[in-house]
């Protein structure tokens, strides 16, 4: 395939930009950092590591390392977005 024939990436992979540019999407207007912070607050790192088995959630987890990994890894990002959407209506966990 010629480089010009490759599909153009969606706005979802830009750093600091909204995850989804479709106004009808439930992720519209949310950044990956906002999604990650909400998940950490709601579930905590341990539960997130069990749901999505990636090192940035299980070993010395941080927002910064998780953002870096998720921006480079579409399959993991998709799982995190699905986790956010599936728990969107659930109340935050009690600490």
| Residue 2: pLDDT over 80 | no
Each domain of the chain, given as residue ranges in start order, spans 52-89
Task: Mean pLDDT check: name the lowest of 2-6, 41-45, 53-57.
Answer: 2-6
- Angle at alpha carbon of residue 76, lines to 61 and 66, rounded to 5°: 25
Give residue 13's pLDDT. Answer: 45
């Amino acid at each position: 395939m010629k480089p010009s024939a490759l599909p153009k990436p969606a706005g979802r992979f830009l750093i600091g930009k909204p995850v989804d540019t479709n106004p009808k999407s439930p992720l519209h207007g949310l950044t990956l950092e906002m999604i990650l912070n909400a998940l950490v607050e709601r579930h905590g790192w341990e539960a997130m590591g069990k749901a999505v088995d990636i090192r940035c959630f299980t070993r010395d987890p941080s927002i910064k390392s998780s953002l870096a990994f998720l921006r480079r890894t579409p399959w993991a990002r998709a799982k995190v977005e699905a986790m956010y959407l599936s728990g969107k209506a659930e109340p935050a966990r009690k600490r």
